């Protein structure tokens, strides 16, 4: 472009030197204007190019960042998916555990209901025994006595003896029923744990035994201050039976002695004991000792129903303890129990 303008200017010079100069000046002015404009455009273009380059860098960076983000997002998505899977697994496990728990609860509820039912039945049974089983016995005993009284002149001694045997048997049966009911009561009675003064309890029981047979002379020794955690009423039942046995089986001893005390043990609480110097028993039969209706002596030797020690065992077991005995015939017996 510059070259063309120069040639035009040379042509005009030939026509008029004045106008030629003017024209040149004009051209030059125009030219410089144009140049400035061009350089502005150039600058603008350069600027634009420059801007676009930085824009490109920026774009590239953005692109990289986006890619990074996308990459990160992918990893993150994987992580979230993994977490989701784990959570789903945990939820399923929890659900299973919950179901198992509900099942176990249902089973426990059913078992409890069954237990309650059995207890109710036992109660109904005891109630019926208490009311109904005694009534016929009273009839047998009562009318036997009525015959003895009203027809005495028509009965010989053997007839009277037979009727008295009938009466004795009914009374024995009555005692059996009472003892059986007591045993059942020990099993179903509710446990109320409290601090129990066993020494005082043993003292009460022995005082009652003394009152029942004031003529007997029995040397009693109670270790003072023996205190345990347990159900007072049940423990009283146990001591009534243990001390009652000691009292009964020393009945033929000229110098009877009954002792209540406690031995410390290597583990656990102390072993309480009731010791007597009475008839004792053969340890060969010790296994039968705590069974209901088991007796190691005949009723002629020592009366009893064979329920006492079974009752003691139930009381001790309900306290989570153990009961055992040591004895020899004629050498007395010692009954130990833990609580």
Binding another protein (rule: CB under 8 A), the pick from 19, 66, 78, 139 is 139
Q: Is 126 in the site for another protein (CB under 8 A)?
A: yes
Q: Which is nearer to another protein, 54 or 164 (CB)?
A: 164
Binding-residue pattern over the window 317 to 336 for another protein, x denoting contact by CB under 8 A: --------------------
Sole window of 32-40, 139-147, 246-254, 303-311 interacting with another protein (rule: CB under 8 A): 139-147
Among 41, 46, 59, 146, binds another protein (CB under 8 A): 146
Q: Are 285 and 305 in contact (CB under 8 A)?
A: no
Question: Using CA atoms, how far apart are residues 156 and 151, in angstroms rounded to an integer?
Answer: 10
Interaction between residue 131 and another protein (CB under 8 A)? yes
Q: How many residues sit close enough to another protein to count as binding (CB under 8 A)?
A: 24
Lookup: tokens for 143:
């009318």
| 174 part of the interface to another protein, by CB under 8 A | yes
Q: What phi and psi values does residue 122 have, to the nearest 5 degrees?
A: -60, -40
Question: In this chain, which stretch among 22-30, 165-173, 212-220, 270-278 interacts with another protein, using CB under 8 A?
Answer: 165-173
Question: Whole-angstrom Cα distance, residue 228 to residue 235?
Answer: 10
Reduce the DSSP state of residue 298 to 3 states and report it: coil
Rounded to the nearest 10 degrees, the angle between the axes of helix 2-15 and helix 17-128 is 160
187 binds another protein (CB under 8 A): no
Q: Does 142 bind another protein (CB under 8 A)?
A: yes
Q: In angstroms, give the least distance from the CB of 150 to another protein.
A: 9
Name 285's Cβ contacts closer than 8 Å, sequence gap at least 6.
296
Residue in the structure block whose two tokens are 């015959």: 147
DSSP string for 39-65: HHHHHHHHHHHHHHHHHHHHHHHHHHH
Instruction: Select the residue interacting with another protein from 5, 24, 122, 134 (CB under 8 A).
Output: 134
Determine, following the binding rule CB under 8 A, whether residue 53 of this chain makes contact with another protein. Answer: no
Is 151 one of the binding residues for another protein (CB under 8 A)?
no
CB 248 within 8 A of CB 216: no
Dihedral over Cα of 33, 39, 43, 45: its sign? positive
Question: Considering the rule CB under 8 A, would residue 127 count as an interface residue with another protein?
Answer: yes
- The least CB distance from residue 290 to another protein, in Å, is 25
Residue 35 CB: number of other CB atoms within 10 A? 13
Cα 303 to Cα 282: distance, rounded to the nearest angstrom: 18
| Binding test (CB under 8 A) with another protein, winner from 170, 250, 313, 334 | 170
| 171 touches another protein (CB under 8 A) | yes
Positions touching another protein (CB under 8 A) are: 126-127, 130-132, 134-139, 141-146, 167, 170-171, 173-174, 181, 185
């Amino acid at each position: 472009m510059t070259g063309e303008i120069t040639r035009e200017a040379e042509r005009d010079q030939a026509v008029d030197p004045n106008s030629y100069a003017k024209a040149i000046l004009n051209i030059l002015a125009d030219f410089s204007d144009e140049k400035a404009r061009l350089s502005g455009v150039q600058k603008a273009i350069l600027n634009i190019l420059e801007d676009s380059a930085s824009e490109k860098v920026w774009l590239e960076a953005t692109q990289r960042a986006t890619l990074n983000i996308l990459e990160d997002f992918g990893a993150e998505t994987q992580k979230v998916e993994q977490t989701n899977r784990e959570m789903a697994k945990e939820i399923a496990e929890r659900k299973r555990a919950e179901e198992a728990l509900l099942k176990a609860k249902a089973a426990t509820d059913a078992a409890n209901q069954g237990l309650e039912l059995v207890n109710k039945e036992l109660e109904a049974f005891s109630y019926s025994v208490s009311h109904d089983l005694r009534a016929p016995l009273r009839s047998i005993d009562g009318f036997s006595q009525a015959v003895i009284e009203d027809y005495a002149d028509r009965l010989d001694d053997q007839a009277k003896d037979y009727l008295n045997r009938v009466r004795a048997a009914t009374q024995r049966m009555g005692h059996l029923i009472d003892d059986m009911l007591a045993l059942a009561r020990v099993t179903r009675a509710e446990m109320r744990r409290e601090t129990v003064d066993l020494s005082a309890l043993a003292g009460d029981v022995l005082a009652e035994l003394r009152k029942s047979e004031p003529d007997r002379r029995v040397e009693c020794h109670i270790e003072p201050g023996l205190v345990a955690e347990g159900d007072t009423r049940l423990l009283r039942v146990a001591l009534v039976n243990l001390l009652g046995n000691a009292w009964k089986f020393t009945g033929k001893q000229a110098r009877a002695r009954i002792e209540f005390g406690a031995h410390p043990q290597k583990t656990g609480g102390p072993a309480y004991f009731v010791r007597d110097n009475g008839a004792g028993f053969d340890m060969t039969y010790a296994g039968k000792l705590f069974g209901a209706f088991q007796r190691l002596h005949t009723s002629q030797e020592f009366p009893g129903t064979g329920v006492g020690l079974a009752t003691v065992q139930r009381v001790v077991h309900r306290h989570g303890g153990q009961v055992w005995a040591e004895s020899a015939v004629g050498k007395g017996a010692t009954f130990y129990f833990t609580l």
